[in-house]
Chains A and B, each alone.
Chain A
């Protein structure tokens, strides 16, 4: 376990943070339902896959400075089905890292799959705090 803070200077395009596996279990479904209402049927809400993307992004890159800003987001859903109870594997990587006008911009790529099916590709654009 490396406890060194993930500062902007350590990010490089192409860098991988490996995978984070997140089960779409009853606890997460209940958490989703508390905010957005209960899912209909056994299909996982698309937003639950997005919530998992954020969890993977948070868990994969630790420790991190406080005060990072999530500035922009791209998503591309494949349309493949994902069921409640399945495990989703998220691949986390760095797409870009550049300083512009005194701010540290980092683009993170997240790819989600379940059972070998591609579900989602996301790009998180963050202003990194330190």
Chain B
């Protein structure tokens, strides 16, 4: 089995409508993501994107490259403000282990960690 040195970057720019769509998808209507007035009274000062929006961008980037995440261990290292572009990528360390990261506006790491990848269609019950 051959693993590439990098997983091609995948980007989105989540605006307020994207935050609403993600809230509907996950039923996470925390006003910190959606309400500018509420967010202004928090230490963030303005709405922040859902953390797993960045995580799922990484999951999708891996899938589009023809792989799947077998195991993942990440930390959310900084908030993403609504309106910032998110870019997910992965760099191979050795074997199937990758350093994974998501950047906001190309300069702030908002998610970092490690993932072990596998080829798609190699799990149990894949024919079901």
Contacts and interface: CB of A to CB of B under 8 A. Distances in A.
A83 to B, nearest CB: 8
Interface residues of B, number: 42
Nearest to B69: A77
Interface of B: 12, 14, 18, 21-22, 24-28, 30-32, 42, 50-53, 55-57, 59-60, 62-63, 68-76, 118, 122-128
A77 B70 CA distance: 5
Q: Which 4 A-B pairs have the closest CB atoms?
A: A79-B123, A47-B56, A31-B25, A47-B59
A50 B69 CA distance: 12
27 contacts: A32-B25, A34-B18, A34-B21, A35-B21, A36-B12, A46-B59, A50-B52, A50-B59, A54-B50, A55-B25, A58-B27, A66-B30, A68-B30, A72-B73, A72-B75, A73-B52, A73-B73, A73-B74, A74-B74, A76-B72, A77-B68, A79-B124, A80-B125, A80-B126, A80-B128, A81-B123, A81-B125
Instruction: Give the interface size bracket for A toward B.
Output: 20 to 34
A36 B68 contact: no
